[in-house]
């Protein structure tokens, strides 16, 4: 299985508009971070897209990915969904709607914001096209088979709301979590690769801090943990130097074999 990090930055992205800090002007390509998204490819070639961030078109082109078999949304904050229109290039070629998995209330809000994607009655004019999404509800604890990939949904808190983390075989993918319950940690134990959000060094009301993420990684015990949803307060090189063995920052375009 292969994990491709499409984007690894916070909701602002890096560089931030109008910011003059050293990280936003860094010459290290790893410090240029688009919004968070990933593609998981199974040994049999099944491709799963996690979220549709605003830069999705550029991310997929950069990664050389022209096809996915399903989208799994973690939640519907803007930095995780506002590239959804870019799936048009995929569904036009596949000639069938793309299955889109999310919690029922998230699917309802997506259908409200982007009705043309989900409403079969809204057909494009001859000679034009539109994205085609097929909503599929998923709940905490559900297990879904997509081709030869098995995806398990795990609820984690994100401030006043919950988001979905996902386990795909030996991979655990957690973004925008403030904490992980004992139950969530147990369900992630045994993964070989773990992805965790890590915002600032200081505590934050809706996200794991870097220190909290390192502590969660130690509890789960994966061989390798990669941190995402990173801000301009730490450069890649600086953060990499301070993290313990087995934990490192991810960067846009990084590919990890599992």
| Residue (of 30, 18, 88, 27) closest to 56 by Cα position | 88
For the segment 7-29, the average pLDDT, to the nearest whole number, is: 98
The pLDDT value recorded for residue 124 is: 84
Distances (CA, A) of 113 to 110, 117, 118: 5, 9, 10
* Statement: residue 120 has pLDDT above 90: no
Mean of pLDDT over the chain: 96
User: Residue 72 and residue 48: Cα distance in Å, rounded?
Assistant: 7
Whether omega for the bond prior to residue 21 falls within 30 degrees of 0, making it cis, is no
User: Residue 139 and residue 105: Cα distance in Å, rounded?
Assistant: 10
**Which residues are CB-neighbours of 242 under 8 A, at least 6 positions away?**
none
Furthest-apart CA pair in the chain: how many Å?
A: 57
Q: Is the pTM of this model over 0.95?
A: yes
Q: Does domain 2-257 have CATH number 3.60.15.10?
A: yes
pLDDT, one tens digit per residue, over 215-244 is 999 999 999 999 999 999 999 999 999 999
- Conformational region of residue 181, where left means phi above 0, alpha means psi within -120 to 50, and beta covers everything else: beta
**For the chain, domain boundaries:** 2-257
The pLDDT value recorded for residue 16 is: 98
Residue 128: band (very low, low, confident or very high) from pLDDT cuts 50, 70, 90 = confident
User: Residue 176 and residue 174: Cα distance in Å, rounded?
Assistant: 7
Distances (CA, A) of 5 to 183, 227, 250: 26, 11, 7
**Which segments of the chain are extended strands (E)?**
2-7, 37-41, 47-50, 70-72, 98-102, 133-137, 143-146, 149-158, 161-168, 171-173, 193-197, 224-228, 247-249, 255-257
């Amino acid at each position: 299985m292969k994990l491709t990090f499409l984007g690894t930055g916070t909701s602002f992205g890096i560089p931030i508009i109008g910011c003059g800090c050293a990280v936003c002007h860094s010459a290290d390509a790893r410090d240029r971070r688009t919004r968070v998204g990933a593609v998981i490819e199974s040994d049999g070639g099944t491709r799963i897209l996690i979220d549709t961030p605003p830069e999705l078109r550029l991310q997929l082109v950069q990664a050389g990915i022209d096809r996915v078999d399903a989208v799994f949304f973690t939640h519907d904050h803007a930095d995780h969904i506002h590239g959804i229109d870019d799936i048009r290039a995929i569904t036009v070629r596949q000639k069938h709607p793309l299955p889109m998995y999310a919690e029922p209330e998230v699917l309802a809000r997506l259908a409200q914001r982007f009705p043309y994607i989900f409403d079969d009655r809204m057909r494009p004019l001859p000679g034009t096209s539109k994205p085609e999404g097929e909503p599929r509800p998923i709940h905490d604890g559900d297990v879904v088979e997509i081709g030869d990939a098995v995806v398990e949904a795990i609820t984690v808190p994100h401030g006043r709301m919950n988001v979905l983390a996902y386990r795909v075989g030996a991979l655990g993918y957690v973004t925008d979590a403030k904490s992980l319950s004992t139950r969530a940690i147990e369900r992630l134990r045994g993964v070989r690769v773990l992805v965790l959000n890590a915002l600032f060094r200081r505590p934050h009301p809706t996200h794991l801090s870097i220190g909290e993420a390192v502590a969660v990684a130690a509890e789960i015990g994966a061989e390798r943990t990669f941190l995402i949803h990173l801000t301009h307060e730490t450069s890649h090189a600086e953060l990499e130097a301070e993290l313990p063995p087995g934990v490192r920052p991810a960067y846009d375009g990084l590919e990890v074999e599992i």
